[in-house]
Amino acid sequence: MSLQTRVVTAAQDVLARQKYVAPVDICVALGWVHSRNVDQWRQGRIGSLQELLPVDPGRLADVIEYLQEWAAGQGLTRSEAQYVAATRDRRVLRFTGDGQPQAEAAWRTHWVAPGLSAAQEQRIATRQSAAPDLVVIQPSKEFTCAECHEAGGDLLIMEDAGPLCLACADLDQLVFLAAGDAALTRRAKKASTLSAVVVRWNKSRKRYERQGLLVSEQALDLAEQECLADADVRLRRRARDAVRREQQDVEFTGRFAAEIARLYPGCPPSRAEAIAAHAGLRGSGRVGRSAAGRDLDAGAVALAVIASIRHLDTDYDELLMSGVARPDARERIRPAIDAVLASWAR
């Protein structure tokens, strides 16, 4: 497949997903750079985006040209976004190594889908121009501040010189708001003229995970007062939402059980209902909550049925508890599962 075809295909996918497309999106879609590395660049920790791209400048210029030709042919609207770093100085980010104005402008160009409402265009423009959040890290080990050379505290912010304590970063006047209350977090961030996202590295998942926010104390006080003032309203809304979700779950479980009965007519109705309720439990991460499960895909339904047979109609659990390896245990019980499936298929 030619590079031009790959660029056009990537642009179509990105545009369908987010209603606008930019050269950075194409590079990610082509697999030339991972979104995690783009985040590092957005945080101001990489000199230029080009340093992350394993292709020569000529191919990058071709990507820009192919994208522009396709966008013009589709009647997309041209806009230019401001890319600033998630650093205290909010410096302008560089795309290319030499920083030539014409090339930088081409990389900043976003192409917006035609026919959007004024509200949609405004949301996209706001999202494009928004500066990234300042990111503060909860370190997993002790660090020394690169500016005061003292042992740091519980939080740091990365700058070009290295990790800075919050005092040297002029962020020590902020207070920590732990994640968990969406309304309080949203209001506190909106009211705080200065804020930062607090993250911590998860070793097992190999990614930074959000822990909360740093906001001004006055903003947090105001947000708490606002949340207390409408606590009853939000409580009633949550209750209504819970009832609606329960109704949706009941309807979905019924449809899932009916599909089990259609595919496996020999399955007892009570068993089909139990399988559907188990597989479709909200928040469980089971197959019924997957996209395929919600679409009542035959493969997803079969996985739910087999899982039920495995645990209730075989000695699979006992084998695991006795120390049999999972693949071996599954191989041993396969004939029993096939027998039950055969009886339910009639």
Same-domain pairing of 323 and 340: yes
Residue 44 one-letter amino acid: G
The DSSP symbol for 130 reads P
- Of the candidates 128, 117, 135, 109, which has an alpha carbon nearest to the alpha carbon of residue 44? 135
Q: Which of 86, 111, 132 is at the close of a domain?
A: 132
Structure tokens at 250: 């009941």
| pLDDT of 261 | 93
Can you name the residues that pair with 253 across neighbouring β-strands?
Answer: none
- Between CA 192 and CA 186 the distance in angstroms is 10
| pLDDT of 4 | 92
The DSSP symbol for 155 reads -
| Block residue for tokens 């947000």 | 223
Same-domain pairing of 92 and 167: no
- Between CA 248 and CA 242 the distance in angstroms is 10
| pLDDT of 152 | 67
Same-domain pairing of 38 and 123: yes
- Between CA 165 and CA 156 the distance in angstroms is 5
Sign, CA dihedral 317-320-326-327, equals negative
Same-domain pairing of 16 and 71: yes
Same-domain pairing of 69 and 141: no
Sign, CA dihedral 112-114-116-118, equals positive
Task: State pTM to two decimals.
Answer: 0.57
The parent domain of residue 92 ranges over 3-132
| pLDDT of 149 | 85
Whether the Cβ atoms of residue 252 and residue 280 lie closer than 8 Å to each other: yes
Same-domain pairing of 41 and 119: yes
- Please tell me the total number of residues recorded for the chain in this structure: 346
| pLDDT of 218 | 92
Whether the Cβ atoms of residue 93 and residue 83 lie closer than 8 Å to each other: yes
Same-domain pairing of 65 and 139: no
Residue 124 one-letter amino acid: I
- Domains in the chain, number: 3
C-alpha distances (whole Å) from 310 to each of 13, 27, 61, 288 are: 40, 45, 56, 17
- Between CA 180 and CA 211 the distance in angstroms is 9
Same-domain pairing of 190 and 280: no
Same-domain pairing of 161 and 224: yes
**pLDDT, one tens digit for every residue, the chain (346 residues):** 799 999 999 999 999 988 899 999 999 999 999 988 888 888 888 889 999 998 888 899 999 999 999 999 999 988 888 888 877 778 888 998 888 899 899 999 999 988 888 888 778 777 777 777 888 999 888 888 888 888 767 888 888 778 888 888 888 899 999 998 888 999 999 999 889 999 998 888 888 899 999 999 999 999 988 888 887 777 777 778 877 888 888 898 999 999 999 999 999 999 999 999 988 887 777 887 788 888 899 999 999 999 999 999 999 999 988 888 888 999 999 999 999 999 998 7
Whether the Cβ atoms of residue 96 and residue 104 lie closer than 8 Å to each other: yes
Gyration radius of the chain's alpha carbons: 27
